[in-house]
């Protein structure tokens, strides 16, 4: 599958619709910093369809020097996506806003170490099974990426915690938690 999609054996993974709230631009700026300050040059696989307001991100890609290390796949079938989750060095999810945060939970269930945004929905879902960073802090995200790429122990620990955390969620549990979020929102009105 990786050969078919032209994906290297060691890669970072991002999954989501390409739109501002998923915060791909911050990830790309963090990668630029990693490239500039270290010898690391991980391929980054970006899975998902193009959404809206991508012109700033496209301009950044064209001028940043990271384009040759990016692989855009578009949407993928679940089978291919699971294979990517299971084989990536790290799953990166710097989303600014989420209702629940299913992609990082899916990644953890497949054994991927996760770096995600420190926002309420993701903090609740991921707990201590992921590295959480300020979604607008490019430097912190870059440091987290370097840490995971250079520390087998940290990756292994996050894999273990992630699988354990993901096992606590089922579709029934997900529906219950989603219902609780809606109830909290409705009672605030």
Distance of alpha carbon 84 from the chain centroid: 12
% pLDDT > 90, the chain: 69
Residues with Cβ < 8 Å from 184, sequence gap 6 or more?
none
H or E segment at 120?
helix 120-126
Domains and CATH numbers, the chain: 2-187 (3.40.50.2000)
The pLDDT, as a whole number, for residue 77 is 93
What pLDDT digit, counting tens, does each position of 117-153 carry? 999 999 999 999 999 999 999 999 999 999 999 999 9
Mean pLDDT is lowest, of 36-45, 52-61, 161-170, for 52-61
Structure tokens at 30: 């963090």
Residue 170 pLDDT grade (very low, low, confident, very high; cuts 50, 70, 90): confident
What is this structure's pTM? 0.87
């Amino acid at each position: 599958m990786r050969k078919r999609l032209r994906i290297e054996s060691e890669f970072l993974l991002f999954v989501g619709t390409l739109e501002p709230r998923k915060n791909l631009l911050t990830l790309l700026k963090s990668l630029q910093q990693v490239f500039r300050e270290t010898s690391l040059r991980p391929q980054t696989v970006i899975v998902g369809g193009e959404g809206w307001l991508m012109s700033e991100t496209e301009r950044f890609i064209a001028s940043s020097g990271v384009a040759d290390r990016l692989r855009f796949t578009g949407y993928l079938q679940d089978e291919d996506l699971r294979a990517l989750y299971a084989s990536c060095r790290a799953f990166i999810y710097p989303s600014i806003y989420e209702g629940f945060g299913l992609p990082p939970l899916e990644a953890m269930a497949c054994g991927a170490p996760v770096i995600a945004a420190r926002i309420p929905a993701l903090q609740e879902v991921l707990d201590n099974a992921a590295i959480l960073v300020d979604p607008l802090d490019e430097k912190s995200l870059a440091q987290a990426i370097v840490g995971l790429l250079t520390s087998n122990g940290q990756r292994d620990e996050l894999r273990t915690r992630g699988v354990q955390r993901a096992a606590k969620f089922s579709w029934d549990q997900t529906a219950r938690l989603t219902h609780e979020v809606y109830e909290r929102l409705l009672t605030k009105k």
